[in-house]
Amino acid sequence: MSGQLKVRLLDQPDAPRTAHPVHLKPLATLCSDCRVSGLCLPTGLPIHDESCLGALIGPRMRIRKGSALFNANDPLTTLYAVRCGSFKTSLNTAEGQGVVINFWMPGNVLGLDAIATEHHVCDAIALEDSEVCPVPYRRLQALARNFPVLQQSLNRLMSREIVREHERVLMLCNLTAEQRLASFLVGLSRRFVSRGYSAHGFLLRMSREDMASYLGLRLETVCRSVARLRALGILNLQGRRVEILDMPALMALEQGGGECEHKAP
Amino acid sequence: MSGQLKVRLLDQPDAPRTAHPVHLKPLATLCSDCRVSGLCLPTGLPIHDESCLGALIGPRMRIRKGSALFNANDPLTTLYAVRCGSFKTSLNTAEGQGVVINFWMPGNVLGLDAIATEHHVCDAIALEDSEVCPVPYRRLQALARNFPVLQQSLNRLMSREIVREHERVLMLCNLTAEQRLASFLVGLSRRFVSRGYSAHGFLLRMSREDMASYLGLRLETVCRSVARLRALGILNLQGRRVEILDMPALMALEQGGGECEHKAP
DNA sequence: CGCGTGTTTGAGCTGAGTCAATCCGCGTGG
DNA sequence: CCACGCGGATTGACTCAGCTCAAACACGCG
């Protein structure tokens, strides 16, 4: 399986943006100097003990915008922790329909849904040039046997993913298009905050189509909902630049609120 | 089957239907004589080694139809494996809206979504008089450290739950009311089969309302969809008695199929 | 400058929701 | 035994949020 993660460890030398001189030794991936380790697998490990995970995690991989980190039916060999950049995963049927299952940001761990069958269920596509830390699943299991906190951390990640999906189902069943959009943006905002970024201004990395798929809508409906929230003075969203002008209103919408009283101009 | 195990751990002693003499010793819960152990936590354990799980699992509990096995926000102390009967779990918002998250049958393990926060997220309600095997979560963790297959089994259960929810999202986003109903019935049928029951005839344990909630529809729409499938000669479903007359047609529907050609009478 | 991809806006259409009436099965009590 | 009531299920009539189809627009790129 070592053949698996060959290319793009360092990628073509013609990296377009980061044309800095290249480190001579492929960077050992240290959780301790990773900005998002607190959200990731090592959460709760003693001072992010490198003796533990350090030995495990392979050299980080660069994934180009638009290319696949893995595809459905690929055998599960490694989980992937996002170090920087972002991804979408999507579940596709034979008939060509599909849905975006989730968007993934630094600190998120991809591939947990493949543990049951040992084969990936989703396609994972980079939404921008990104880097991931590969975590060989077998070795993670072995290591977790000796580090109960690590096992616990893994359990929690999986459980949280189940809860996340519960909430998504709730959204799909109970919320209108505008409420879904509000919920989505508030969710993104929270995720940015927990990574140290602004709650009110950020950049979407996914297309309207992807947003629509995630929200169980058509892209036209997403556009219209954006337009309506903009008209209400809650948002300033053009193209992929988001500015949240009235966070309380947005959060009220998200909570099935905003259906009772008619909007006053 | 050694009859109707009527232990009654808690609850009034005046069991209304099963008024048989009570066993003197509370039945130790043996996975090895459980009909659904192959679907449950001990999957893959060496010959269902009782030295392992036997020590762990508390005496089984009876839950009356309509009463709660646990509620949202209860601290997670034990997982519950369904031994017989069935449950629904539902996620409810402060505003009173909610959705049925899943229906649970013998061999299913409830409570995995609580691992992340150590508090339950859902309410779990018995759909009929039921029995569960309580699995103390802390001790399960400890035991899993010594029995890697047990840990693996737990991981697989969680992962499978994630995948299940993926598929539910796909259903909610892509299928019409009739397709959802078809998908639901085929799913139930499969679950009955894997428990040794008929694929074509079974009894629903949930109300139309619960089905509707699970399917992201209104109960009226479920009724209408049932009526249409009945008119097509695919089903015979009255009240809670299901008879699947044309399984291939039902499965074709489930797969986003059936939209292209107009139905011929 | 033209092309392509992604986004926005418009104009109807429709599947599922809402509201309301009725029906059915079943337990209860007279 | 039947009348009654009650909760769940069914059916009908109407409405509307979001879909479809289609056209226009914006922007980046060779």
Convert the pLDDT of each residue in A203-229 to its tens digit: 999 999 999 999 999 999 999 999 999
Report whether pLDDT(B27) > 70. no
Instruction: Return the pLDDT at A182.
Output: 97
Task: Read off the pTM.
Answer: 0.88
Q: Which residue has the higher pLDDT, B71 or B58?
A: B71
Using CA atoms, how far apart are residues B131 and B139, in angstroms rounded to an integer?
Answer: 21
Report whether pLDDT(A111) > 50. yes
| CATH numbers and ranges of domains, chain A | 17-162 (2.60.120.10), 175-254 (1.10.10.10)
- A235 near A229, Cβ under 8 Å? yes
User: Residue range A32-50: average pLDDT?
Assistant: 76
Minimum CA–CA partner of A100 in chain B: B170
Instruction: Return the pLDDT at A47.
Output: 58
Using CA atoms, how far apart are residues B82 and B78, in angstroms rounded to an integer?
Answer: 13
Q: Give the pLDDT band (50/70/90) at residue B43.
A: confident
Report whether pLDDT(B133) > 60. yes
Asked whether strand C has any atom less than 7 Å from the CB of B178, the reply is yes
Closest CA to C24 C1' — which residue? B239
Q: Which residue has the higher pLDDT, B254 or B82?
A: B82
Q: What is the CB neighbour count within 10 angstroms for residue B160?
A: 15
Closest CA to C17 C1' — which residue? B218
Minimum mean pLDDT range among A65-74, B212-221, B248-257: B248-257
Q: What sign does the dihedral B94-B96-A248-A207 (CA atoms) show? A: positive
Asked whether strand C has any atom less than 7 Å from the CB of B239, the reply is yes
Query: What is the DSSP annotation of A46-109?
Result: GGG-HHHHTTTPPPPEEE-TT-EEE-TT-B--EEEEEEES-EEEEEE-TTS-EEEEEEE-TT-E
Q: Show residues of chain B in contact with A167, CB under 8 Å.
A: 91
Q: Show residues of chain A in contact with B151, CB under 8 Å.
A: 141, 144-145, 151
- Residue B183: closest CA among B203, B164, B196: B164
Instruction: Return the pLDDT at B256.
Output: 64
Q: Show residues of chain A in contact with B157, CB under 8 Å.
A: 116
Q: Give the pLDDT band (50/70/90) at residue A60.
A: confident
Tell me the backbone φ, ψ of residue A210, rounded to 5 degrees.
-65, -40
Please tell me the distance in Å from A243's CA to the nearest CA on chain B.
28
User: Residue range A17-44: average pLDDT?
Assistant: 66
Cα B26 to Cα A143, B8, B22, B140, B264, distances in angstroms? 39, 9, 9, 21, 59
DSSP letter, residue B239: T
Instruction: Return the pLDDT at A171.
Output: 97
Share of chain A above pLDDT 90, in %: 68
- Summarised one tens digit per residue, pLDDT across range A114-155 is 999 999 999 999 999 999 999 999 999 998 988 888 999 999
Q: Residue A219: CB partners within 8 Å, gap ≥ 6?
A: A207, A208, A209, A211, A212
Cβ–Cβ below 8 Å for B165 and A167: no
First to last CA, chain B: 47
Instruction: Return the pLDDT at B16.
Output: 40
Instruction: Return the pLDDT at B47.
Output: 58
Using CA atoms, how far apart are residues B245 and A31, in angstroms rounded to an integer?
Answer: 58
Cβ–Cβ below 8 Å for B159 and A114: yes
User: Residue range A236-241: average pLDDT?
Assistant: 92
Cβ–Cβ below 8 Å for A174 and B122: no
Instruction: Return the pLDDT at B49.
Output: 59
- Which of the nucleotides in strand C have any atom less than 7 Å away from a protein CB atom? 6-11, 15-20, 25
Instruction: Return the pLDDT at B26.
Output: 54
Q: Residue A85: CB partners within 8 Å, gap ≥ 6?
A: A63, A106, A126, A127, A128, A129, A130, A131
- Summarised one tens digit per residue, pLDDT across range A160-185 is 999 999 999 999 999 999 999 999 99
Give the orientation angle of helix B208-215 with respect to helix B219-231, to 10 degrees. Answer: 100
Cβ–Cβ below 8 Å for A255 and B97: no
- Residue A209: closest CA among A220, A219, A224: A219
Token pair recorded at residue B45: 């354990």
